[in-house]
Structures are given as C-alpha cells and as structure tokens.
C-alpha cells in the first residue's frame, strides 16, 4: 500500500510549482511592458486621384493579342510588294523554320520555345529589298523564347568575319548588322547585306535588307528603330 504521506507531499509539491508559476504570471502581468508591441499600427491610406487605366494602344498585351500585321511598318510610297511576301501577311511555323540552315532541327526548337504565330511584310524600292518578320511566342513554359530567337539570329549574323554591328537604342541586346559584301551563303535571303534582330515582350523582330549595293547604316537603323517603336 502506498504511503499517504508521500502522496500528500508529492501533491503539495506539484501545487507549489503551479502556484508559483501563477504568482509569477500575475506579477509579470501587472508590470508595464518593456518590449515594443509586435502589432504594427494601421497605416494611413493613400488618397488622391488614381491613375487612369491604359488604353488599348498603350497596353502592349492588348496590342500583341490583336492583329500582328497592324504592328508592322507600312510599305513606303512608290515601293512594290515582291512575290515572296505572303499574300495574307502570315507565316507558318514551317516557313519560319526555313530561315535556319537546318530547318527540321529549328522547327523542333521553335515548338519547344512555344512559337505561336508570325506576321511578315516586305517591299522593293528598286535598289534594295526589305523583309520584316515579327514572331510571337506564348511564354508559358519558355519565358525567354523571344530573346532566344533573336539571339540565334544575331549569332548567325556575326559568323561573317567582316560584319559590322551597332546596338539598336532601347532594345537591350538588339543589334543591327552591315555586311560589306553581298553573300550567297544565306539560305533565307541570298545576297543579304544588312539585317537587324531584337525582341520585346513576347515578340521577336527580324529585318533583312538586301540587294546589289551595300546598305547605308541610316537605312537599316531607321527601319529597326521605327519598327521597335510600334511594338
């Protein structure tokens, strides 16, 4: 049989500890707090006129989801439209992949990069021909697709050891290129003598100017800058 005295002593000890803890709590609760409160007081709300929502022309997402052909530069007065420009202004994935020296490989790459669609325009001024491609990528699984597409084109432009290049203002890595001599090695546009490649948002831009005579810097830079302003 258990000793009742021992039980009473043990119970008293437990009660003593509990009582001591309660007493300490009451003493502490009665003191002024010495630490800063963890709850931050409510901040005043900003007042004043709210910014106006973007218009359709200002909202890049709205513009890009519309007709891409409307973002392309217009054919200048006096210029003609060559037969190689798609009549409806659209370019299929296969046609876009033909830009590469390895179309089948590039086709698979474009699919992985979530190629969505491409609009194209071009004209012939008599001395030079211009072609502009504007490609759009979905950017769900591959958010850097437009930059990657533009980077690939810049890489191939720079394989010409004599090529000269300049940055396109306001485009980050976008650049324009001049080839001193026409080249017959390009599978996309034989005789290309100037090109420009850049990206913005979900769009990738490619411009080629080619002909028998070298292209002035002012021509390719003007095309690139005016086209990028529209994107």
**SS3 assignment, position 18:** helix
Among 157, 153, 154, 113, CA closest to 136: 113
Residue 147 lies in a domain: yes
What is the pLDDT, as a whole number, of residue 85? 87
CA 216 vs. chain centroid, Å, equals: 30
Same domain, 144 and 204: yes
Q: Identify the domain containing residue 24 by its residue range.
A: 1-30
The enclosing domain of 137 has a CATH number of: 3.40.1000
4 and 110 inside one domain: no
pLDDT-wise least confident of 75-79, 134-138, 184-188: 184-188
35 belongs to a structural domain: no
Residues 6+ apart with CB under 8 A from 152: 100
Number of domains present in the structure of the chain: 2
pLDDT band at 223 (very low <50, low <70, confident <90, very high): very high
- What is the C-alpha separation between 30 and 69, in angstroms, rounded? 76
pLDDT at residue 111 above 60? yes
Over the stretch 22-81, which tens digit does the pLDDT of each residue have? Answer: 444 444 545 555 555 555 566 666 666 656 655 555 545 555 677 999 999 999 999 999
Per-residue pLDDT averaged across 9-16, rounded? 38
Considering the domain architecture, whether residues 5 and 114 belong to the same structural domain is answered as: no
């Amino acid at each position: 049989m258990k000793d009742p005295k021992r039980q009473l002593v043990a119970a008293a000890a437990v009660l003593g500890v509990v009582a001591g803890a309660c007493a300490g709590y009451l003493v502490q609760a009665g003191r002024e707090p010495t630490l800063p409160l963890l709850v931050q007081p409510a901040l005043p709300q900003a007042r004043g006129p709210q910014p106006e929502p973007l218009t359709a022309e200002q909202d890049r997402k709205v513009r890009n989801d519309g007709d891409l052909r409307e973002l392309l530069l217009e054919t200048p007065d006096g210029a003609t439209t060559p037969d190689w420009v798609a009549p409806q202004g659209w370019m299929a994935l296969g046609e876009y992949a033909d830009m590469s020296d390895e179309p089948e490989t590039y086709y698979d790459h474009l699919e992985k990069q979530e190629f969505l669609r491409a609009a194209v325009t071009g004209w012939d001024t008599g001395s030079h021909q211009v072609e502009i491609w504007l490609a759009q990528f979905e950017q769900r699984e591959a958010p850097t697709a437009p930059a990657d597409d533009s980077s690939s084109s810049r890489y191939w432009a720079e394989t010409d050891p004599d090529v000269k290049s300049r940055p396109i203002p306001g485009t980050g890595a976008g650049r324009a290129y001049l080839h001193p001599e026409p080249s017959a090695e390009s599978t996309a546009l034989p005789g290309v003598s100037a090109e420009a490649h850049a990206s913005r948002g979900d769009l990738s831009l490619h411009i080629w100017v080619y002909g028998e005579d070298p292209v002035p810097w002012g021509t390719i830079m003007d095309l690139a800058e005016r086209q990028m302003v529209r994107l």
